Amino acid sequence: MDFELSEEQRLFRDTIRDFVAKEIEPVASEWEATDRYPTEIVEGLKEMGLFGMMIPEEYGGLDLDFVTYAMVFEELAKSWHGVAGTLGSHSLACKIISVHGTEEQKQKYLPDLATGKRRSGIGLTEPEAGSDLQGIKTTAKLDGDHYVINGTKTWITNARYADPLPVLVKTDPSASPAHKGMSLILVEAGTPGFTVSKDLPKLGYKGTESCEVSLVDVRVPKENLIGGVEGRGMQQVLGALETGRINVAARALGVAQRAYDEALQYSRDRHAFGQPISEFQAIQIKLADMATKIQAARLLINWSASRADAGGRVDMEAGMAKLYAAEIGVEVTLDAMRIHGGYGYSKEFVIERLYREAPLSVIGEGTSDIMRMVIARGLISGKDVIG
């Protein structure tokens, strides 16, 4: 086992860190406070090719290994979770098209998705269907050479910029079990009947939009059915979510790492009773626990990412990484706030923002309890955690 990054990965990380320091850090707190979309930052991400992380080189992408992919999300989330979010759902959609799309779909969409000329997200969640995706009500009925889609999707990241947006639908609402009647269809921006109905206000994770999307008699060519065969949508989504959870875990790690860094520095600078508070045992215990949890999360993420690079399913491994990283992200940001005392509660310090950003990871792309169920299924089926 190699726990160190390669020289190439280190150089790539340094490039990301340099971009973050110059382009994101100076504006992150101000833009986050006003929920401003990071247009200029997105242009920089395009220039670095990061919209093509999950796209094969033959279609113009970077085709990054999953360890590097996770590292990118950690570094971006350290500065501003919302910026990392603009790449998260996009990368998930790109992975779905790269793995499951027809050759025509790949040729049509992937080159522009790789450059960021096109961007994407994924339309899964509905007002009455989140963790239980088989409970979705959005339908797609074949009418000649088009599907007619009707339904509502919510909490859709990149909704205003997605072109196309993969939308999970029921092409056979009567199928039993329900997943056998579910499909993914690519809906292009500007299609009549496809509208972003509202933006959803959020505690954190600002900058990138989260929207409700309405689909009313949306006519989409049948050629936009991902893979060209009905009834495979649920499998396509679940396969992508496995690796998508690696990026969510990495984002949680980035938030936790930044919170720890801020707390460590503050403990050195803040004096009480004639000495830095870092000299007090109570503070040292908190710092030690925080650092240990962060490193354990990083190792879990790199382990699951390495398993993904080796091929095969990583639902259990990614579930473990996402569960642990998300939970310690919440714990670490709260402990960092405690170390800051009253200043941690002030908007003048970055800890307040990190504290608001951390909870998303215990909810997004499967709640922590869903992750526990995924892990348990893997264990019960006999999957080896060590081997």
User: What pLDDT, in 10s, does the model give residues 191-226?
Assistant: 999 999 999 999 999 999 999 999 999 999 999 999
Residue 302, pLDDT above cutoff 80 = yes
Domains of the chain by residue range: 7-115, 133-230, 235-380
Q: Tell me: the pLDDT tens digits for 1-34?
A: 678 899 999 999 999 999 999 999 999 999 999 9
pTM for this prediction: 0.95
Confidence of residue 341 (pLDDT cuts 50, 70, 90): very high
The one-letter code for the residue type at 57 is E
Annotated active-site residue 279? The verdict is no
**Separation of alpha carbons 92 and 123, rounded Å:** 11
**Separation of alpha carbons 13 and 233, rounded Å:** 34
Could you say which of 75, 262, 327, 365 is catalytic?
A: 365
The residue-averaged pLDDT of 277-286 equals 98
CATH for the stretch 235-380: 1.20.140.10
Taking domain 133-230, whether its CATH number is 2.60.40.10 is answered by no
Residue 319, pLDDT above cutoff 70 = yes
The residue-averaged pLDDT of 359-386 equals 92
CATH for the stretch 7-115: 1.10.540.10
Q: With pLDDT > 90 as the criterion, what percentage of the chain qualifies?
A: 94
Confidence of residue 385 (pLDDT cuts 50, 70, 90): confident
Look at residue 387 in the predicted model and tell me its pLDDT.
55
The residue-averaged pLDDT of 46-63 equals 97
The residue-averaged pLDDT of 121-146 equals 95
The residue-averaged pLDDT of 316-339 equals 98
DSSP line for 111-131: HHHHHTSSB---B--BTTBSS
Residue 381, pLDDT above cutoff 80 = yes
Q: What is the residue-averaged pLDDT of the chain?
A: 96
Confidence of residue 166 (pLDDT cuts 50, 70, 90): very high
